[in-house]
Structure 1
Amino acid sequence: MNRAVVSSWVDAVLGTDRNQRVRVTQSLVASSLYLGLSAIVWLGVWMGVIEQLPAAVLASAVLGASVVFYAVIRSGRNLRFTADPALTQVQGLYCVLACSAAYAVAGPIRGALLMLLLTGQFFGAFSLSPSQARRTSLVAVVAVGLTMGWCAYTDPVRFPPQVELLTFLLVALVLPTIGWLAGKLSAMRNKLRLQKAQLESALAQNRLLATQDELTGLSNRRHMTALMMAERARQHRSRSPISMVLMDIDHFKRINDGCGHQAGDQVLQIFADVITHGLRAGDALARWGGEEFLLMLPNTSADDALVCVERMRGQLAGRSFDHIEPKLAVTFSAGIGVCDLEDRMDTIVERADRAMYRAKTAGRNRTVVA
């Protein structure tokens, strides 16, 4: 058969959503158990050890419930139950009722059918909380106990009270133990899920820190270097200039020493915010180190870069730093280097660095073009 046809059939039965497919599959596994239960009961009818009418009622009930559970999950209506979208607890409780009913009508094979209760308990380990798993096992003990007591009271010949009592004691011993184990598995699963989420969060944070300066939120030196290489490759195709601007905050050590390192951090953050708001789409700004910032301006000549930097200087001059230190004025010196096709990016950054130091020597708060 064509693989595409098989795939379409599988999608039609299980759906395409990954989480829903898991839930539908679990429901179908439970349905196969109910189908097997019905087959065994009808085999007992054929052998003459089980009455036909109770068997028909039981088979209709369990198979009908299987269809209902499958339809609810396959249609997506189960998603309304956010606490238990797999309907595991509801299906587990129904399994308890089905097994209790089967016990009452299964005649001499009734003891063997109690094994289905164990299967239902283990289903709960995949979705139920530890407390829910324990409650389900206790409900199972009570339901089976009531069934055994009713059968022994109404038909002591077929259900000898002594045998039913011993069977109940065994059920009361095993089912809570299974419920406890299912709860432990559930707790372990929840712990692993939490650890996985924490690991994914830590990995995402590490990936972010690998490309981002933690204080300013700008690209760090490593990420900026990668951006420069990518822009350099585009330049070979577009034949357009790239301007690199190295900016250094003037007298930053004096701010740090006089106002404190926390004030210095605030100055760096405000400076990064002001410069970022003056960028175009495609421009890139990075904290290059300490109080130095590197700005990459693609498709920009030296003259246009100078205009851009001076506009940013004016925006910074209009920003108040009085909340850090009254009358504090923050300025910067900048050097501009233009990357032509034959230049190396690191050479241009060095050129911008030398131009920036010439701006410092010339009196600061100015821009020099290399």
Structure 2
Amino acid sequence: MRRLLLGSDPRLPRMLGYWAATCLLYIIGGILLLLSVRAGAADQRSALIVVAMGSAGVTAFALLVRASAALGIAPSTLAIWQAMYAMAINVGAYVVTGPLRGVYLIFLLVVMVFCAFSLRPRHTMLLCTYALGMLGATMLWLVATYPATYPAYVEGVHFASAACALVSVTLLTGEMSKLRLRLKRQKEDLVAAMTTIGKLATLDELTSLANRRHMNELLVAQERRLEPAGEPTCIALIDLDFFKSVNDRYGHAAGDAVLRRFSEAARSELRAQDVLARWGGEEFLLLLAGTPLAQAVTVVERMAARVAAAPVTVAGSDVHITFSAGLAERRHGEPFADTITRADKALYSAKSNGRNQIGVG
């Protein structure tokens, strides 16, 4: 029912909230107009026409707000239409109310205040010009047609008061609109900054892999997760072979290039559930959730082949990358720290046996 009434557009509830507020103002204005009729200050037929037009406008704009997304009507455009119509209804009520007509000039100010929430300053200025032009033309017509009922002096005072109030409110709402837009931009900048900080907190800047801190968080979460009985998880510790000699011979910039190339090549062989993190220096940790040991060996072998086939060109020479790896399957209920220790021992064994191979612990 909520989806039927409010739709899926997140802006629609807010727009309908503004519509409900304007609807309440229409109701109050209509009641005041009918009370003026009862007091003999307003013509009944003319007042009923204004009330009917207001009711029709409220209904029409409710439908337009609900269908605005489907019709491609921007919220700002719809707000301008509603404001222009509300101003026209207020001027109509001013014409038919008689001695108490000045009260409807206040409603014009309320319309302008509402515009501060959805329109830019130039739009509110245009609406102010529209309201004053329509009000001034109407007052001139009333003075020329019914001079006894609408004296020029009284209409002049009404217009001057309305003009001062409308211009002042328009300027204030313009400043409010600027402040609202500035706060919106600051919020967007803050969200972007928080997103960047979040990435920096979880990613290694050089390789764009998960960093050690984030991997530790994943391991803790994995330990707390209730895994189905028999679901295997493997850990692989990977160490680039002879990385120190690359740094010593070609410099740290070349070493950084090797790390980035390894990262790119290794990631291309990972599955959706695999997570590779830079564990420290030239050492990396691979989390293979839901993977038995034999399948984990296959994944690491594919990585090794892809990495070996992606040399880095340094000072005109191709530097081929190989790595040694230690694999361990987590035992049921075993802390990951113990699994990593076993993987580390398997890595040490692989390096001791000549490197560029996979040890299993």
TM bucket normalised to smaller: 0.7 to 0.9
Matched-pair contact (CA < 8 Å) for 1:359–1:368: yes
Match of 1:38 among 30, 45, 66: 30
Matched, 1:104 2:95: yes
C-alpha distance in 2 between matches for 1:357 and 1:17: 57
Matched-pair contact (CA < 8 Å) for 1:72–1:78: no
C-alpha distance in 2 between matches for 1:256 and 1:39: 85
Matched, 1:116 2:120: no
Partner of 1:143: 134
Matched-pair contact (CA < 8 Å) for 1:88–1:123: no
Partner of 1:3: none
- SS state of the match for residue 126, structure 1? coil
C-alpha distance in 2 between matches for 1:113 and 1:39: 12
Residues 243 and 42 (structure 1), Cα distance of their counterparts in 2 relative to 1, 3 Å cut: closer
CA RMSD of aligned residues (A): 3.0
Matched-pair contact (CA < 8 Å) for 1:244–1:339: yes
Aligned partner of 2:302: which letter? R
Q: Sequence identity of aligned pairs in percent?
A: 35
Superposition pairs of residues 213-362 of structure 1, within 5 angstroms: 213-232=204-223, 237-239=228-230, 242-256=233-247, 258-259=249-250, 261-298=252-289, 305-322=296-313, 325-341=316-332, 343-362=334-353
Matched-pair contact (CA < 8 Å) for 1:241–1:300: yes
How far residue 109 of structure 1 moved from its aligned partner, in angstroms, is 0.8
1:145-169 residue CA offsets vs partner (Å, 9 max, x unmatched): 1211221122221121122222222
- SS state of the match for residue 320, structure 2? coil
Aligned partner of 1:84: which letter? S
Higher mean alpha-carbon deviation, 57-66 vs 296-305, is at 296-305
Residues 38 and 230 (structure 1), Cα distance of their counterparts in 2 relative to 1, 3 Å cut: closer
Match of 2:118 among 102, 127, 140: 127
Matched, 1:165 2:156: yes
C-alpha distance in 2 between matches for 1:153 and 1:63: 30
- SS state of the match for residue 238, structure 1? coil
Match of 1:199 among 183, 190, 193: 190
How far residue 171 of structure 1 moved from its aligned partner, in angstroms, is 1.6
C-alpha distance in 2 between matches for 1:221 and 1:277: 20
Aligned partner of 2:79: which letter? T
1:39-63 residue CA offsets vs partner (Å, 9 max, x unmatched): 3223222322222332232222222
Partner of 1:60: 52
How far residue 181 of structure 1 moved from its aligned partner, in angstroms, is 0.9
Partner of 2:172: 181
Match of 1:25 among 17, 24, 27: 17
Matched-pair contact (CA < 8 Å) for 1:235–1:341: no
How far residue 304 of structure 1 moved from its aligned partner, in angstroms, is 5.1
Match of 1:156 among 130, 139, 147: 147
Aligned partner of 1:331: which letter? T
Matched, 1:89 2:80: yes
How far residue 225 of structure 1 moved from its aligned partner, in angstroms, is 2.2
- SS state of the match for residue 106, structure 1? helix
Residues 225 and 79 (structure 1), Cα distance of their counterparts in 2 relative to 1, 3 Å cut: farther
Which runs of 5 or more structure 2 residues have no equivalent in the other structure?
none
Matched-pair contact (CA < 8 Å) for 2:202–2:213: yes
Residues 228 and 31 (structure 1), Cα distance of their counterparts in 2 relative to 1, 3 Å cut: closer
Aligned partner of 2:32: which letter? I
Which runs of 5 or more structure 1 residues have no equivalent in the other structure?
1-7
User: Normalized against structure 2, the TM-score is what?
Assistant: 0.87
For these two proteins, the number of residue pairs brought into alignment is 361
Residues 68 and 362 (structure 1), Cα distance of their counterparts in 2 relative to 1, 3 Å cut: same
How far residue 311 of structure 1 moved from its aligned partner, in angstroms, is 3.1
How far residue 95 of structure 1 moved from its aligned partner, in angstroms, is 1.8
Higher mean alpha-carbon deviation, 164-173 vs 18-27, is at 18-27
1:8-54 residue CA offsets vs partner (Å, 9 max, x unmatched): 6x887666765322212322321222232223223222322222332
C-alpha distance in 1 between matches for 2:325 and 2:56: 78
C-alpha distance in 1 between matches for 2:153 and 2:214: 78
User: Normalized against structure 1, the TM-score is what?
Assistant: 0.85
Aligned partner of 2:167: which letter? P
Matched-pair contact (CA < 8 Å) for 2:326–2:345: yes
- SS state of the match for residue 349, structure 1? helix
